[in-house]
Structure 1
Amino acid sequence: MLGRVLTHLDRLVACDTQNPPRTIAPDHPAIAYCISVLKHSGCAISLTDHGDGCVTLLATRGEARTVVNCHLDTVPADPSWTRDPFKLVVEGDDAVGLGACDVKGAAACMLAAIEESDGAVALLLTTDEEAGQSRCVREFLKQELPYDRAVIAEPTGVKAVTKHRGLATYELAFRGVAAHSSVIGADQRNAVHHASLWCAKAIGLTESKPYDDIRLNIGMIEGGTKANVAASSAKVIFGMRPPPGMHPDTPARVLRDLVQDPENCVWKTRFAAPGLDETDGTPGLLSDYGFAKGDPVDFWTEAALFGEAGLATVVLGPGNIKQAHAADEFVPLDDLRRAAEAYKKVFSDPVDAADLAGTMSDAKGAR
């Protein structure tokens, strides 16, 4: 099956799906190629264009209980690439190309697995994961869906990850009053001072439980014009990665209360999503497909959104996260082989309509 995988990966890598810019449309060559392969394998295709480069392709065959998800977009190629990022090259035991690890290698494995299986299929391909808003997945999960399980592709070394951290980013805009720094009281109305005070309090909060493990990161502080002028505005952009089981909203409320002058601070949530945690259905998902369980990871994936929607969910894909977004990105050939076999187990699932109806009835009652 590795030969099929590399054929698909070669075609997918050749398709420019860099994101940004958000220019992927339903007629994009990568989507057209996937549709051709999937139709030839007996899949029905549903294509949804959400605009702004957000396209969803749902391929179905039979009545599956497990939906498998993979994104087709990549980050922009870093200038330090030493070769053509859109030309797949096999070097030794690795396949090198933009997206080979994150995560077109997984998509190629899925296409090959569907070709070599005859079971039920529910494959969701999206184009906006790297944009950071997850619109495709969020819109998909708003529907009434006939699935109680999900397998999400990200680089995990073909281990089934059942837990990972949440992710949230915020922007604080502080307002002050511009004044000469010699004026008494100017420092009390200096927006940069207020921003700095909040940053100090936020860092202090993370030095004790229960917020000592939220992985707070103050990524940007902007404001002011020069040393002798009290700043009229300042901006702080920060993020955090709370552990599984802690929704970002919980520490966010505490952090927001640390603002000294709330009337002169605008708090904006850029992105907030919980982590992935195990559910009652996770052990069955692992055992039914013979997945090897992986350790929890610190990076966030869209698997968390499927888990939040009530599906037993794991993250499983070829490659190592250290190669994701890197120049001369590669994925081991052995990972591709093993991932294709793992996905084939899912696409060989012989669930029929009667069994599926009973399963979903039980699942909805449990939610």
Structure 2
Amino acid sequence: MSDRVRDMLAKLVAFDTTSRESNLELIDFIQSWLDEWGISSQRFYNQSGSKANLYARLGPAGDGGVMLSGHTDVVPVDGQQWTVPPFELTARDGRYYGRGSADMKGFLACVLASVPDFAARRLRMPLHLAFSYDEEVGCLGVRSLVAHLNASQDKPAMCIIGEPSEMRPVYGHKGKLAMRCQLRGKACHSAYAPQGVNAITYAAKLIAKLDTLGEQLAVVQDARFDPPYSTLQVGTIQGGSALNIVPQDCRFDFEIRHLPDAKVDEVVEALQQYASTLLPAMQAVAPESQITFEPLSRYPGLLTDAQSDFAGWLAQWCDSETFSTVAFGTEGGLFDEVGVATLICGPGSMDQGHKPDEYVSVDQLERCMAMLSRLRHWMTATH
């Protein structure tokens, strides 16, 4: 089994599925592998047809059962100093190195290596398999698959997302809202600054307002998360062309990493309301002045009941009684929103994810295979 996992991981890592690239060659490979074991699958393409989610199920007809889910895309290696080829699996000192080995092709390799054993069993409930795209850029790709599940009569009851958690069960994470604000003022020579509308100046006012709104968000705390409150930050800003020109344009991107039950739409509404109070002064000088807001990405937080039967079963399958939350986001909240109870457990650590010389340990993969073996037994046992 360890050889099967290693060989499968080597094949997966060899596909450059950086989010800016197509994942179709990888999807072709997975679909062919499932076909070998008599498992049909369905694709859900993006608008251009360059990427796809893949969904499959085996076992008896009907709703319920367990879904194993993971994303196929990885983050870029640009600018990183790797000592091993990023898209070629390297084995060294009990570790497998390669982009995506931890986040999260290690889990996908374990799932795919387990397919023959699941296919050979007479399952008492369905096993669902979900492979998504564009998770790394805001959980964008999986939404068509989520919509399919929501409309289906055969929706899974439970989902395990194999994000790297060192094989410890995770029941929650924060949600995220990312937005862009664009300001259009009026350019002029800086010697006649009052005749122009300085877009950077007004952007600074909005950013200062965001700081105040962030402080208000931080009042509500939940010790289960780290940090224990919602955070708000401006990540990028662009504006101006020369020091002696009043800048006509400015834009900035901001994000809110929020507790699962935080009312972040109220924060956006408060910022937009404040922007509306700035516009009259801008338009008094230049009627064409504008402030616009554009959503970039959004996904909900996750907060599954750690005392549920599902949580108890997962604790047994992964042989760990300690539940926790994680700082990073996943697709879990999207599945949970459509009634699929979701928990996270997968091999590797996010301490290695997104970094040069990313790796997953052989021990972590073995523990993941043990979890899937216990799950398989549970799905075939007579109760």
Quick check: 1:340 aligned with 2:356?
no
Match for residue 302 of structure 1 among 331, 345, 358: 331
Match for residue 379 of structure 2 among 350, 357, 362: 350
* C-alpha contact 2:140 2:297 (8 A) present in aligned 1: no
The alpha-carbon deviation at position 247 of structure 1 amounts to 4.9
Q: Report SS of the residue matched to 1:179.
A: coil
1:193 corresponds in structure 2 to 201
The alpha-carbon deviation at position 115 of structure 1 amounts to 2.3
Distance in 1 separating the partners of 2:213 and 2:379: 51
Distance in 1 separating the partners of 2:217 and 2:30: 48
Quick check: 1:41 aligned with 2:50?
no
Most deviating of 294-303 and 109-118: 109-118
* Structure 2 counterparts to residues 93-112 of structure 1, below 5 A: 93-112=94-113
Match for residue 140 of structure 1 among 133, 137, 145: 145
The alpha-carbon deviation at position 8 of structure 1 amounts to 0.8
The one-letter code matched in structure 1 to 2:239 is: G
When the two structures are superposed, what TM-score results if normalisation uses the length of structure 1? 0.86
The alpha-carbon deviation at position 66 of structure 1 amounts to 1.6
* C-alpha contact 2:174 2:260 (8 A) present in aligned 1: yes
Distance in 2 separating the partners of 1:112 and 1:282: 31
The one-letter code matched in structure 2 to 1:302 is: E
Quick check: 1:230 aligned with 2:246?
yes
Q: Deviations over 1:59-103 (max 9, x none)?
A: 211145221111122122244112211221111121111111111
Change (3 A) 1:82 1:196: same
Change (3 A) 1:158 1:9: same
* Structure 2 counterparts to residues 39-188 of structure 1, below 5 A: 39-52=35-48, 53-63=50-60, 65-78=65-78, 79-117=80-118, 118=121, 119=123, 120-135=126-141, 137-143=142-148, 144-145=151-152, 146-183=155-192, 185-186=194-195
Q: Report SS of the residue matched to 2:182.
A: strand
The alpha-carbon deviation at position 251 of structure 1 amounts to 2.5
Q: How many pairs are equivalent?
A: 346
The one-letter code matched in structure 1 to 2:15 is: C
Quick check: 1:8 aligned with 2:25?
no
Change (3 A) 1:231 1:46: same
The alpha-carbon deviation at position 284 of structure 1 amounts to 1.3
Change (3 A) 1:255 1:343: farther
Instruction: In structure 2, list runs of 5 or more residues that go unmatched.
Output: 221-228, 280-288
Q: Deviations over 1:318-350 (max 9, x none)?
A: 111121111111001111111122233334453
Identity of matched residues, %: 27
Write out the 4+ residue segments of structure 1 that deviate beyond 6 Å after TM superposition.
Answer: none
Distance in 2 separating the partners of 1:46 and 1:207: 46
Q: Deviations over 1:36-72 (max 9, x none)?
A: 3323334222233334433121121114522111112
The alpha-carbon deviation at position 210 of structure 1 amounts to 5.0
Distance in 1 separating the partners of 2:257 and 2:298: 10
1:284 corresponds in structure 2 to 309
* C-alpha contact 2:193 2:246 (8 A) present in aligned 1: no
The one-letter code matched in structure 2 to 1:20 is: R
The alpha-carbon deviation at position 248 of structure 1 amounts to 3.4
Most deviating of 45-54 and 101-110: 45-54
Most deviating of 58-67 and 209-218: 209-218
* C-alpha contact 2:217 2:231 (8 A) present in aligned 1: no
Distance in 2 separating the partners of 1:251 and 1:148: 33
* C-alpha contact 1:100 1:330 (8 A) present in aligned 2: yes
When the two structures are superposed, what TM-score results if normalisation uses the length of structure 2? 0.83
The alpha-carbon deviation at position 294 of structure 1 amounts to 3.1
Q: Deviations over 1:143-163 (max 9, x none)?
A: 223212111121111112111
The alpha-carbon deviation at position 7 of structure 1 amounts to 1.6
